[in-house]
Amino acid sequence: MGVAGGTGRTRSCQTQTLDCCVAVKEGQQAACKLRLARMARMHSGGKGQSGSSRPFVESPPEWSETDKKTIEELVLKYAGEGRSTSEIGIVLRDQHAIPDVKLATGERISAILNRNEMAPQYPEDMMNLMRQAQRIIDHLEAGNRKDIHNRRQLELTESRLRRLAKYYRESGRISSDWTYKRDQLRLMVE
């Protein structure tokens, strides 16, 4: 008899997983009714499995604007107004019937800006994290020193920023000697 009067049929999840892996390697069909552990996200407790993905499309819709020259002029015009790449994409989608710039032109908005030397000094996602960190720092310095939740959020944001900066340094998008410094953050953001 098994533990606590059971039949002894219970096996550990790890043993069941190994048996399924062996069966699959041997070419057998294995119906594993397991609830395997799911990896959590790095900076939150979420373990979400659901999510939508964009459908695979090779050409722009017939109703959309497809003239490359016109699209490039619009991208450069909105970049000259100081809009970010995501804002440019939203405006092109909503006001000019261009749902996907890459499908229409073969290039991303950031590539068009790089080619025309209008790209910002820092990538947009990195700048957004720097702005978020600066807002939290301002909040903590404005008499909220004991706000432990936002102090923790600042640590997480700075951690994300350092990881992203490491990626951009290695890929050459920012200078190789760039480091995150909290006291110089305001100068970079403004």
Q: What is the pLDDT of residues 63-84, one digit of tens each?
A: 988 889 999 999 999 999 999 9
The CA-atom distances, in angstroms, between 82 and each of 4, 70, 76, 100, 102 are 70, 19, 10, 21, 21
Positions of the chain with pLDDT under 70:
1-37
Give the integer Cα–Cα distance in Å for 104 and 66: 5
Give the integer Cα–Cα distance in Å for 29 and 14: 19
Residue type at 35? R
Quick one: pLDDT at residue 1? 46
Q: What is the pLDDT of residues 108-136, one digit of tens each?
A: 999 999 999 999 999 999 999 999 999 99
